[in-house]
Structure 1
Amino acid sequence: MQNFGVKGKIGAVIGSQTPWAEVYALVNGAKHMTTVDYYKLSINHSQITFLYAPDLPAKREDFLYYGKFDFVISYSSIEHSGLGRYGDPIDPIGDIREMNKIHCMLKANGLLFVGFPVGVDTILYNAHRIYGRMRLAMILPVTENIP
């Protein structure tokens, strides 16, 4: 993160039962972090705020977090979205919806640090998805050409 300019920036972590990514961002100079999760967490740190995932509204006009974050981190979270394993509602395109929410949360030219399994497109019951050519193209649409 130190090579991507998070110093003095405001970030969010999607799906963080243990706030290791938040701490890493703060150590690298982030100003403030917001943790978003389906499990209610108790975080006692002046630079970390907790947001219960169902409290994110579905309508854009009610979305207090629209364009708020300079960067978002999601590690081992998106591939579980919509499968119901962690208390979220069953939704076949839950991961795509989650990526859309993240996109809305980011400021223009914001950064997304993301980690999920890549291989042949697969869903492993309610455990997680593995992203291949088809599903990867659905969650990471190309919006501009990168030289």
Structure 2
Amino acid sequence: MSPLPIAVDLLAVPKAVPEVRRTLRERCGGADSSDLLLCVSELLTNVIVHLGEGTPVTLRVSGTCTGRLRVELSDPEPCAWPAMRSAAGGDESGRGLVLVDALSLRWGVDQGVRGKTVWCELPAPTGSIAACGSPDAFRQVP
């Protein structure tokens, strides 16, 4: 059975970041998923920092039929769009989307009726955890 797709509703709070990373690490088994874990962490952290702790979000990770991983993080705020920033050497923030941009094949933001979805696509990691499937076929992570 493929470890993907994954979908989970959660509150964007600091303790959720390591919990989501742990869940993804377990679901991905032995696959090299470090880029996936970093992108998910950065997208979730952006919600915490820019929209506030406790914002409800939905995280989806799926494999595509083109052999990529697709990460989507949906939130209820349609007007607060992420923007890449230039962080100076001593800055403690401002690198999240730069990292997502560097690691992903492409990324973007989709406007929804009740919010937005920030997404990125990554090369499938070694261990081939990506699987072709319908985006509507997500299973809940316990």
TM score, norm. by length of structure 1:
0.22
The structure with more radius of gyration: 1
